[in-house]
Amino acid sequence: MKKRIGLITLVVGALAISGVVLIRNKTSGDSEPAQAGKQEMPPAVRVVSAVKAPISSGLELTGSVEPYRAAELASPAEGPVLDVRVREGDLVRSGDTLLAIGRTQGIDALITSLREALKKEEDNLGRKRRLVESGVLPVEDLDQARAAYEKARAQLVDAEQTARDFVVTAPWTGVVSQVIVKEGQFVVPRAALLHMYDPGGLVIRAAVPERYAAGIAAGMLVDLRLDAFPDSTLKARIERVYPYLDPSLRTRTVEIVPDVPLDLLPGMFARLRVLLETVNDAVVVPAEAVLSTLDGKAVFVVEAGKALRRQVKTGIEEGDRIQIVAGVGAGERVVVAGNERLRDGMAVSVAGGEEQGADKSRHKNESPARPEGEAGGDRP
């Protein structure tokens, strides 16, 4: 009885093992065609055509609006500030009185006295001239009278000059930008009183790094953007290049003037792009098409459904575009998305049709659609 039970158990076990093997073989046989089908599907890529277009290299700088003629007027004498006649923003003409320094009573009295003394010496000189001419007095008396007259005149001129030291006037026509002192404030000689600038002489100053200093020249074109006019890119040019480098910053100062008149104010912030080089008929592709490899720069060109690897020589880079100097010609289709896993000669499918190079930028953050279960290749 025990032998019969053992034999039955052995037969049932053998049948169970045979069923498992049959099911496993069937499942394996059904999945192999599916896997083979997935591996045969080519990877999807996005392509654009290389085009001929202008491209420029530029130097990005920042600058500020500054007046090239400005003045800080200082006190010529000691005393309290009186008769302040201007405020910030006032337009003044050359010679206009801006303010005065007090304690002028003494100098005014001295000027009055010296004018009377000069009048007396002038009358005495005329009288002695007539007497000498008539022979009543010797010529020496006339010389003494003339010397006394010149001395009195020199004293009056000196006093009048001193009086002018108590009045501050505009050296040229301009705008008052800051009044530093208040009326009644006591100041000492050479103390700053106010600032003014010439509104007709505003320029944009920028500092060029030493690396580019030798290549900067007057007349170069500049793309100008001002934070005060955020929606506009304006045309400008370099008007003046300073002939030295700042010894502390190692930069070279340039002055830039817009091509059209603008309502500028001192202190405005400017963003500048100096155009260093322009190629009008360059072969241009999106920057995403160019891969960095151990051998240099490379792109993939799609021909007859295959991705062909090309070594290229690049030139100017501008934004998301790059110039191809050698390796790719205008009109050839280059891969701009999905090129990271391609191999030379690999079959590919173009996803979404071919795009024009000028319209490619709208897809710069998109990824190409890939068939489900695609097997990727190696990076070139």
Q: What is the assigned CATH class of domain 105-163?
A: mainly alpha
In the chain, what are the domain boundaries?
44-55+280-363, 59-68+203-278, 72-102+166-197, 105-163
pLDDT tens for each residue of 131-150: 888 887 888 888 888 888 88
CB 323 within 8 A of CB 35: no
The CA distances from residue 294 to 302, 311, 313, 327, in Å, are 22, 11, 14, 17
CATH architecture type of domain 59-68+203-278: Beta Barrel (2.40)
- Per-residue pLDDT at 20: 44
> CA-to-CA distance for 275 and 78, rounded, in angstroms?
53
Beta-carbon contacts of 247 under 8 Å, excluding residues fewer than 6 positions away, are none
CATH code given to domain 72-102+166-197: 2.40.50.100
In tens digits, the chain (380 residues) has pLDDT values of 445 555 555 554 555 555 544 445 544 545 454 454 455 688 888 888 888 888 888 899 999 999 989 999 998 888 889 889 999 999 999 999 999 887 665 666 777 888 888 888 888 888 888 888 888 788 888 888 888 888 888 877 766 666 666 788 999 999 999 999 999 899 998 899 999 999 988 999 999 999 999 989 999 999 999 988 888 899 999 999 999 999 999 999 999 999 988 889 999 999 999 988 888 888 889 888 888 888 888 888 888 888 888 888 888 888 888 988 898 888 888 888 878 888 888 888 887 655 555 444 434 434 343 433 343 334 33
Q: Where are the beta strands (DSSP E) in 41-132?
A: 44-49, 51-67, 70-74, 79-82, 91-92, 97-101
Mean pLDDT of the chain: 80
CATH code given to domain 44-55+280-363: 2.40.420.20
- Per-residue pLDDT at 365: 39
- Per-residue pLDDT at 360: 45
